[in-house]
Amino acid sequence: MNFVDTLMTVKLTLDSGAVPLIVGETGIGKTALIKKLCSDLNYNFITIEGSLLKEGEIGGLPVVEDYSETINGKTVIRKRTVYAVHHKLKKIEDFLSEDKSKKVLLFIDEINRCEHAVQQELMNIILNREINGYILPDSTVIVAAMNPSNKYDNYLENQYQITEMDPAQENRFVWINMESNAENWIQWGTEQNERHIQNIHSDILQFISMFPQYLNRTDSNESTRATPRSWERVSKAYTAYENNKAAYTENILFNVIKGNIGSEIAQEFVNFTHERPEFIFDARDILVQNNISDRLLNALRHETHEKLFLFTINCLNLIEKEEENDELINRFAKLLQYYPSDLKLAIMKKIKTYNQKHIYDKFINNKDFVDAFFKIYI
């Protein structure tokens, strides 16, 4: 399922009191999804990387402490073994000491990329909510994630080095299969992070909107493959290059991009930045026009869904920023009538869930918007 559906499925699973297990290829955005979930729900976020743990580490190292007890009226000093608390688990207590009303989400990633003994320790935390005397606070929720095993029909070609869980362990989770989706990724890319910077550079969003097949190339034979995560690194490198072109040649930029997504797609992206194909869907320019030109009408009917989707997100962001937005809504509703029916319906649903309620209320009271909806079924 795509990013948005996965996010909502994880939410419902947590509400039911179960533990979700997100299964997906490397780099498709599992961690980004959990960070967004924590942002949406106002949870504190802690992650444990299973692949980085050694046996006994998460349970804490054993130490000896003195204790006293009274036997036959005499105080006797004895010794016992206790376990230090791992710093990640200690961080849960630190968060709760700051604000007891704010829940903590413990994200256990790569649960099948660790040694078997480590996996058993992590399973003890997940299933029993305790390890070596440390008990997880009730206000802590757990989400696990892993790469898919090639023992499952949909992933027969995968070559991950993993530690399999037995059927009894597998049955303890709610399995949620996540796949990359260009439209969802583009929407996320247009949003701003905690530093008020757009998640993904606009040039990269435009490139992926034109070539959505390049977002996640699991079929590539190159040692370096394009994934949503590697595109995020490309975005940061590309931004750094643009901010300091005097210090780096374009060949250096190409080397960095190639090291993230492979030489074939890297060359295509660099060519794209050179040619700068006219990006006709500029939200602000189009929404101030009174008429729909023949050129725009033709583009609306023949462009890729991903490119139209990027334009739509930019339009909706613009509408939300403008206080006097009634005319912008009118013009966008007129444009929406010319979208492909399947994309039109998806966008209408997204307006209901993605935008503020007062924006959606204006849309459903707009005649062109309502007409566009009914034309889907004619």
The reported pLDDT for the residue numbered 315 is 83
The reported pLDDT for the residue numbered 45 is 94
The reported pLDDT for the residue numbered 143 is 96
Tokens of 210: 């034109």
Q: Which amino acid is at 65?
A: E
What's the CATH number for 3-53+91-177? 3.40.50.300
| Residue showing tokens 């939410």 | 11
Give the start-to-end residue ranges of the domains of the chain. Answer: 3-53+91-177, 182-275, 283-375
Q: CA-to-CA distance for 87 and 348, rounded, in angstroms?
A: 46
Positions of the chain with pLDDT under 50 = 156
The reported pLDDT for the residue numbered 151 is 63
The reported pLDDT for the residue numbered 153 is 57
The reported pLDDT for the residue numbered 86 is 86
- Regarding pTM above 0.85, the answer is no
153: number of Cβ within 10 Å: 6
Q: CA-to-CA distance for 89 and 247, rounded, in angstroms?
A: 43
Q: What's the Rg (C-alpha) of the chain?
A: 26
The reported pLDDT for the residue numbered 60 is 77
CA distances from 92 to 11, 259, 370 (A): 20, 36, 49
The reported pLDDT for the residue numbered 44 is 94
Within the chain, where are the H helices? 3-15, 30-41, 87-98, 116-128, 167-170, 182-190, 202-210, 228-243, 250-261, 263-275, 283-287, 294-302, 305-321, 326-336, 341-354, 357-364, 367-375
CA distances from 106 to 83, 102, 117, 280, 363 (A): 20, 13, 20, 44, 39
The reported pLDDT for the residue numbered 225 is 84
The reported pLDDT for the residue numbered 85 is 81
